[in-house]
Structure 1
Amino acid sequence: MSAVKRTALVTGASRGIGLAIATLALLTSASALAVTSQQPVEVRAYHYGMPLDATKVLTSEVPDTVLCQVVEARMTYLDSRGNVEAITYRALSKACSNS
């Protein structure tokens, strides 16, 4: 009987859920390849009708405020070529969903 060797490729492994997944993979004796962005991503401001080439959302950050208000949110994603892109957009704060 041969043992099966598993390798996990974890993107965004420097923080958050990516870090948790990479840590869990290592603790369960799997090997993990952690990938983090070495270069800062240029953040573009989204405008209505702007085409987005997003194949996978990596992070979606909406500021937490005490009051329900419009805030500047940020989404980081992979495009169809595998490049990391980021946009900012206007959204309702997390406090609005608790109302």
Structure 2
Amino acid sequence: MKTLIALVLAGSASIAFAGETTAATSAPAVEQYSYGSTLDIAKVISLSDIPKVCKVVPAQMTYEDHQGQRHTVEYQVMGDGCSTH
């Protein structure tokens, strides 16, 4: 009886673990862009909002490549809050 309970608990743990693995792999990992990186962009899915500050800030773009894989890349951009007067 103890063996049966141990097997049931072990099976439940592996099912829960498999669910966590699936959830973790469904979201693309954020890749850091560096100057000269080659990106295979077939379709832009989303762009992050650029804050109204006058400094360099991180931004993200999620895109789909020509094989249908989604990627998220983080890059640096100048904020939209700089005055030109």
TM-score normalized by the length of structure 1: 0.54
Instruction: Tell me if the contact between 1:68 and 1:93 (Cα under 8 Å) persists in the aligned partners.
Output: yes
Secondary structure in 2 matching 1:94: coil
Q: Distance in 1 between matches of 2:49 and 2:56?
A: 10
Number of residues of Structure 1 aligned to a counterpart in Structure 2: 60
Structure showing greater radius of gyration is 2
Which of 53, 78, 83 is the equivalent residue of 1:92? 78
Distance 2:49 2:67 in 1: 26
Task: Report percent identity of matched pairs.
Answer: 32
Partner of residue 42 from structure 1, selected from 29, 54, 71: 29
Is 1:51 the equivalent of 2:38?
Answer: yes
Alpha-carbon distance in 1 for matches of 2:49, 2:40: 21
Deviations 1:32-58 (A, max 9, x none): xxxxxx811111000011110011111
Equivalent residue runs for 1:22-41 within 5 Å: 39-41=26-28
**Corresponding position of 1:12:** none
TM-score (norm 2): 0.62
- With a CA cutoff of 8 Å and minimum separation of 6, indicate the structure with the bigger relative contact order: 2
Q: Which runs of 5+ in 2 are unaligned?
A: 1-24
Higher normalized helix content (fraction of residues): 2
**Counterpart in 2 of 1:76?**
62
How far apart are 1:94 and its partner, in Å? 2.4
What CA RMSD, in Å, does the superposition of the two structures yield over aligned residues?
A: 1.9
Q: Which amino acid aligns with 1:85?
A: H
